Structure 1
Amino acid sequence: MEKEQLGQSNLQVCRVGLGTWAMGGWMWGGADEKEAVAAIRYALDIGINLVDTAPVYGFGISETIVGRAVKESGRREHTILATKAGLEWDGEERIWRNASSKRLEKELEDSLRRLQTDYIDLYQIHWPDPETPIDETAETLNRFYEEGKIRAIGVSNFDADQMETWLKAAPLHSNQPCLNLFQDALKDTVFPYCDQNQIGTLTWGTLAHGLLTGKFDESSSFPPDDLRHHHPMFQKKRFQQYLTAVSKLKDMAREKGKTVLQLSIRWVLDQPGVTSALWGARRPEQLKELKGVFGWKLSAADLKQIDSIVRTAVTDPLLQESLQGPPAKSTVKR
């Protein structure tokens, strides 16, 4: 397993980490704890040392599953647990941003309890909170860091200006932006900034909510409690465009003796400024193709071919700006 230092932290993370959003069940059609625990145990067995989760993933369910699996594995000291904070909720329909110091203090204690640990390796702010000054949030995480409750400080979905403001108040070891070969706008903005400022990156959405696994076709459908039921990438004409691109990418991957999933993850890993790509899974068999991601790289000609395939097939792409995330607290109806 390839590893890299995460920014200026002391963490050596594998270049593919395990994402556990779907394990929480919420927005993914329900949870299967037994399968999820087995997937985490399998990931640790094959060399993945980074497991990324968040309280909002199933409102504590994902963190609880991760905590159980890591404890049962006996590998806590060799596992980098990454979780997040800065969101608050009142039921599944009302979720808002809250990165105030008071909220973060509560979330940290809740996460430590669910993860069955006395420290968190990487603690990240899930989304920037426009109603809490960044320096308040940054100083709070820096206090956790100095107290030894967390080993590294991270953010998620922050742009360059927000990171610049953060760095005036506290260290920053990583950012977690969205990146896949269908949604690549940030590779020319956020990733260069991180690269220039020695800030590590973990990518979310690496497989475009499963589109880049190559498992879907025109007949694929999703239940109402699955986010893809209403996600813009999976709607009618646009969905067909993405499927056309995936079909052509499959042909390209096959010529290299690879799958479209392996090609897609390799594409992310080969982008400048990327430290680790998160691979979302909730069953062990979904990780079987990991080995084929390593030991090769895409050439400049390969990257140009991939870009041509995507630009030609997807004439109505989902713009990066549409990734809004949860609303600010003041806009939530009570």
Structure 2
Amino acid sequence: MDRVRETFALGPFDAPRLWTGLWQLSSNAWGAAPVSKIRQAMGRHVASGYTAFADHYGSAELIFGQFRTSLDSPDAVLGATKWCVFKPIEVSREAVEAAVRQRMDRMRSQRVDLLQFHWQDYGNPDYLTALEILSQLRTEGLIAAIGLCNFDAARTAEICTHFPGIIVSNQVQFSLIDTRPLHGMTDVCGKHGVKLLTYGTLCGGFLSDKWIDEFEPDPYSGTLNPSQRKYLDMIVKVWGTWELFQDLLRTLRAVGDRHGGLSVSNIATRWVLDQPAVGAVIIGARLGCTEYPDDNVKVFGLKLTLEDRSAIDKVLGHSNSRHLIQTIGDCGAEYR
């Protein structure tokens, strides 16, 4: 079946609703492939309609830049990267512009398509000064669009009030396991016209058919990658139990069966795409190692029914999903 790709408005871009996440290029712990194979995999993704790539860890910007400049129509591919401020810095025009130009150089681009800004210490309000300078650079053409990364609802509202119409997105963790964006964040985004770009939507691959009827894995066995260790901890220590997670997987499998045999991952992705303010789901890919573009595209055109949603909500009602906003904190709190 030829499925029509879904898109949404993101600043000046007509962006796809499924993006390819490049964070797994940060370490061989996710599996490694030669750069040539990674670029070939990017080409396959673009040919299949996956025309947006995101992240900056490791060599992600460099490889993406090499790939995009090799295309006949490089402007047809959107590249999102980040500027993350984890340690105190002196915020000046020179420092901010240098950070942006470093992104441009690494990505071999005359501008940054989407610069996602992360600021670690909320106690230091200089993030507003940094965003003022980023806004100036956007006006000057060095940045096409400005987004946030792992900002909470209160600071997102503050920033959007200071800079109306400037912020186009906030990249946050959002899944059937982690529903914190539903508790304030989506309201803020709706008020200010901000779209959520979500990661962790498949919980490192745990939200897939592969894990149905499997025993709870040992996080120290060496068989899990860094993402899986992170999300396993969330599933069994914060959200609920492995047994309840199995109930969720079986429920998603039943929903998929009602829709012609769609995968657990399809249903989990569609559920997030249907939530308020969500623009796109960023799906991490081990390019050149393990990729699922042919399966992921099946989310397009899928319409979950009231029966589907009720079955999913019933399982979530037995979890701690609605309480994560208190136990973990708002979006991004686990990184601060």
TM-score by length of 1: 0.83
Identity of aligned residues (%): 25
Task: Say if 1:86 and 1:129, in contact at 8 Å, map to a contact too.
Answer: no
SS state at 2:303 partner: coil
Q: Deviations over 1:5-42 (max 9, x none)?
A: 12xx2111111111111122266355653443233222
Aligned ranges 1:83-232 → 2 under 5 Å = 83-88=81-86, 96=87, 100-101=91-92, 103-130=95-122, 131-170=124-163, 171-216=166-211, 217-218=214-215, 220=217, 222-223=222-223, 226-229=226-229, 232=233
User: Secondary structure at 1:177's aligned position in 2?
Assistant: strand
Q: Find the residue that maps to 1:264 and give its secondary structure.
A: helix
Q: Tell me the number of residue pairs that the alignment of Structure 1 and Structure 2 aligns.
A: 313
Cα distance in structure 1, aligned partners of 2:88 and 2:272: 28
Distance 1:324 1:163, change over 3 A: closer
Cα distance in structure 2, aligned partners of 1:150 and 1:22? 25
The answer to whether the 8 A contact 1:238-1:317 is kept is no
Structure-1 separation of matches of 2:95 and 2:179:
32
Which digits, 9 at most, give the CA deviation of each residue in 1:125-148, with x for residues without a partner? 134532242321210210210110
**For residue 306 of structure 1, what is the aligned residue in structure 2?**
312
1:252 matched to 2:245: no
2:66 maps to what in 1?
68
Segment of structure 1 superposing worse, 246-255 or 44-53: 246-255
Contact 2:31 2:286 in 1 (8 A): no
Q: CA deviation at 1:291?
A: 2.6
- Counterpart code for 1:80: L
Moved more, 277-286 or 23-32: 23-32
Instruction: Read off the aligned partner of 1:292 and give its amino acid letter.
Output: K
1:3 corresponds to which of 3, 7, 14: 7
2:292 to 282, 286, 294: 286
> Which position in structure 2 is the counterpart of 1:331?
none
- SS state of the match for residue 15, structure 2? strand
Give the partner amino acid of 1:149: L
- Correspondence 1:319 to 2:311: no
| Aligned Cα root-mean-square deviation (Å) | 2.8
- CA 15–30 in structure 1, closer or farther in 2 if over 3 Å, else same: same
Distance 2:29 2:137 in 1: 31
Query: Contact 2:180/2:322 (CA < 8 Å) preserved in 1?
Result: no
1:330 matched residue in structure 2: none
Unpaired runs of at least 5, structure 2: none
Name the CA distance, whole Å, in 1 between partners of 2:281 and 2:196.
8
TM normalised by structure 2 equals 0.82
> Hey, what's the Cα distance between the residues in 2 that align with 1:104 and 1:150?
12
Give the letter aligned to residue 283 of structure 2.
Answer: W
Shift in alpha-carbon separation, 1:230–1:43, aligned structure 2, 3 A: closer
Which moved further from structure 2: 244-253 or 226-235?
226-235
Please list the CA deviations of residues 185-229 of structure 1 after superposition, one character each: whole Å capped at 9, or x if unmatched: 212311121122211221111111211133233265545872433
